[in-house]
Chain A
Amino acid sequence: MSPLVIAFLVLALLICGSALSMLWTKNLLHAALAMFLTMLGLAGLYVLAYADVLAVAHLLVYVGGVLILILFGIMLTNQTNQTNQTNQTDTASSKNHLMTRESSRLLPLSIGLSFFLGLFWLFTKGPWMNNLPVTGDSKLKEVGLGLLTEYAFPFELAGVFLLIALIGATFVAKNHD
């Protein structure tokens, strides 16, 4: 096995394992940490698919931005519900014990499993040539040039969109009393 394939397998195991633990746990903080690991592995996979621009952007945005945003969301909506009040005697140890509720497991798990099997079958038996190797090299220069020439308008539009969304988010999150 070539080292690239081994690196791919390690990263895929990291992604699948942390996604599964995100599914399994009921603790919101543990899920946020598992999502962090998933995003790290995904950035590695982007590098292996020769999309290093996207990998760096992904790391900056998800690990640096979205995860902090989620942690702030968890912190600001931290509710002391029944599950926390039952063991309120040891508050210091139960502060990070943010248990969330779940619906019954059977239906979502079977739907998810059937989706996975269906997609797996579709991708494996699909009519397109799916055994092409991922070829090429880092296309950093081409992507930079393309974003400033051919895709300049969508790029600027995305920037304005981001600005509008962030201003809107701060306005919505403001205390309107």
Chain B
Amino acid sequence: MTDIPVLYFLWVSAFLFATGLTILLLKKNTIFVLMGIELILNAANLNLVAFSKNDPSMQGLYLSLFVLVVGVCEMAIALAIILQVYRNYRAIDVDQFKSEF
């Protein structure tokens, strides 16, 4: 069975990272920004998985499992914070309010 070169995975991951970064910079809705962060996390994860397959100790695979867990925690807490922000200010756009400091 012929296998896929690591480079192909890296290309897809570079594309995902760039798209996530663009979403992060372009959108003003906070939930959209969070989705961009998720794309960036998954691009990093794909890199870890692709490289760990030539590594007999598989450290990248274990690290990517923990990245998954941390990403989920970040998502849950961020959505809870967004909910509170919406309750207090009735808006969740990132440029809606200016800091007073």
Contacts and interface: CB of A to CB of B under 8 A. Distances in A.
Interface string A24-47: 000010011001001100100110
Contacts, number: 236
Interface range, B side:
35 or more
A4 B12 contact: no
Contacts of B58: 139, 142-143, 146
Centre residue among A109, A119, A143, A162 by max chain B CB count within 10 A:
A119
B7 A73 contact: no
Interface string A159-177: 0011001101110110100
Nearest to B2: A2
Contact of B4 (A8, A65, A143, A166): A8
B38 to A, nearest CB: 7
Contact of A15 (B2, B16, B17, B76): B16
Interface in A18-71: 19-20, 22-23, 28, 31-32, 35, 38-39, 42, 45-46, 48-51, 53-54, 57-58, 61-62, 65-66, 69-70
B66 A134 contact: no
Contact of B25 (A12, A111, A120): A111
Contacts of A132: 5-6, 54
Interface of A: 2, 4-5, 8, 12, 15-16, 19-20, 22-23, 28, 31-32, 35, 38-39, 42, 45-46, 48-51, 53-54, 57-58, 61-62, 65-66, 69-70, 72-74, 76-77, 79, 100-103, 105, 107-109, 111-113, 115-116, 119-120, 123-124, 130-136, 139, 142-143, 146-147, 151, 154, 158, 161-162, 165-166, 168-170, 172-173, 175
Interface of B: 1-12, 14-23, 25-29, 31-32, 34-35, 38-39, 42, 45-46, 49-50, 52-54, 58, 61-62, 64-66, 68-73, 75-77, 79-84, 86-87, 90-93, 95
